[in-house]
A and B are shown apart, each in its own frame.
Chain A
């Protein structure tokens, strides 16, 4: 986990402001994600973490500021075109297609890719998530919460993203499953996937991440190497409950 990053960032968010009607939800956030790192965005409920991810993914438009992917300005690119630019968001609450089979869910993940390439990626996912292989023909809605999270992550990976964004992957899962999900995140990291992770479970997030940003009501209040923040007094008090 090297901390000295060289070259241009893969994702560069510069001073974005996002509004929900009159509400100023994001008040000038800047962050960077470099190739092959896990960066986490932690903070309390309502701090604007998901809003930030949704803005990067093109679901929301910033009123001010820029989002650059690989040096290219992607402001105003619609969410459906983001996937082919190499950006994939695994949304909060998993949002898998409940009435489609596991396999169909994964196929949808690869929607933007040529049909000929899909089979290989499916095999890859089944290898990484053997549980999904067992459930291949099952309807998504019948999976357990943990399995649904795996499916949501695998589906997001099916587009072969350059940057994978995970929004609260541990939400609503039993502790043992949380461990398992974070294990998968570490494995993905080890295999070279670049990840931007939003989490309320700050403890776990800071353990797997390289760098972290702490958000509070629409602004970034702290940033630095994850292991430093993990032992930072203010962070410990506010988010780690010790």
Chain B
């Protein structure tokens, strides 16, 4: 029972990281209608920035994360402007391939700058562990922070898109760019803002990921979590904020449970098998809305 609870909390914590990454995927997909496969690598850049600021500049973790958010936000805007914007009118396949290219570019640039030897990441938030059930259940402060961060981000984004003018404009752009433009919404600026938000979230995810499950930071650190988060976004219904939240959490829990009770080697296979089954029955994902036209 205690073991199960521990796995559950680990799963929710890992799932929270997936959810934060998935939000970035999902928002960019919702607005720009493209899969930004370089998103995972922005996580990696964020983690490296946190590492450098903490180790080389000996600054407190809080400032390191802030620096990573700033760098990743600017990086996300720059990538969109330089790599994706010129392809706005092109076939989606061209954009997809470009995104894969950007992903490799970032990985190789990171290898040039930081080398391929792992950097040992020290946690950005270690204030000891929470012990419960007579000390049998130990929950790390990082796990709690990750879960809290996920919930705060999720609530914040939901409020942003449902209450603020800019957030509503984002939803309008995601539904119909042409009509949004007729309303006077600057579509390019809205897309830019979406990339900025997604990339800032990736920076936070990078810091959390390396603080919890992935302390050995290498240039390919972002790839697998990026792909899993993409899966989580599709699982929950891509384009939907609560979908990314639920998809991420479920994916994390399924992964940890599969590792604990079935097989460590097969855990990824099980995760993807669940995805396939869900998509067979709900092709738009758990919370995705089927597209329908009304005349």
Listed in ascending order, the chain A residues whose CB lies under 8 Å from chain B are 57, 59, 78-84, 88-89, 91, 95-100, 104, 107-109, 111-112, 115, 141, 145, 148, 155-156, 159, 172
* Closest beta carbon of chain B to A169's beta carbon, Å: 14
User: In the assembly, what is the distance between CA of A57 and CA of B58, in Å?
Assistant: 56
User: Are B185 and A108 in contact, with the CB atoms below 8 A?
Assistant: yes
Contacts of A109 in B (CB 8 A): 183
User: In the assembly, what is the distance between CA of A48 and CA of B96, in Å?
Assistant: 35
Contacts of A96 in B (CB 8 A): 179
Contacts of B131 in A (CB 8 A): none
B172 CB contact (under 8 Å) in A89, A97, A159: A97
Known: A97-B176, A104-B168, A108-B169. A83 touches B294 (CB 8 A): no
User: Are A97 and B181 in contact, with the CB atoms below 8 A?
Assistant: no
Contacts of A83 in B (CB 8 A): 182-184
Interface 0/1 of B173-196, CB less than 8 Å to A: 001101111111111000000000
The number of residue pairs between A and B whose CB atoms lie closer than 8 Å in the complex comes to: 74
B289: Cβ under 8 A from any A Cβ: yes
User: Are A172 and B295 in contact, with the CB atoms below 8 A?
Assistant: yes
User: Are A80 and B185 in contact, with the CB atoms below 8 A?
Assistant: yes
User: Are A79 and B182 in contact, with the CB atoms below 8 A?
Assistant: yes
* Closest beta carbon of chain B to A239's beta carbon, Å: 23
Chain B contacts with A in 42-95, Cβ cutoff 8 A: none
User: Are B168 and A108 in contact, with the CB atoms below 8 A?
Assistant: yes
User: Are A100 and B176 in contact, with the CB atoms below 8 A?
Assistant: no
Select from chain B the residue with minimum beta-carbon distance to A104. B168
User: In the assembly, what is the distance between CA of A107 and CA of B181, in Å?
Assistant: 14
B119: Cβ under 8 A from any A Cβ: no
B171: Cβ under 8 A from any A Cβ: yes
Tell which of A80, A81, A83 has the most Cβ of chain B within 10 Å.
A80
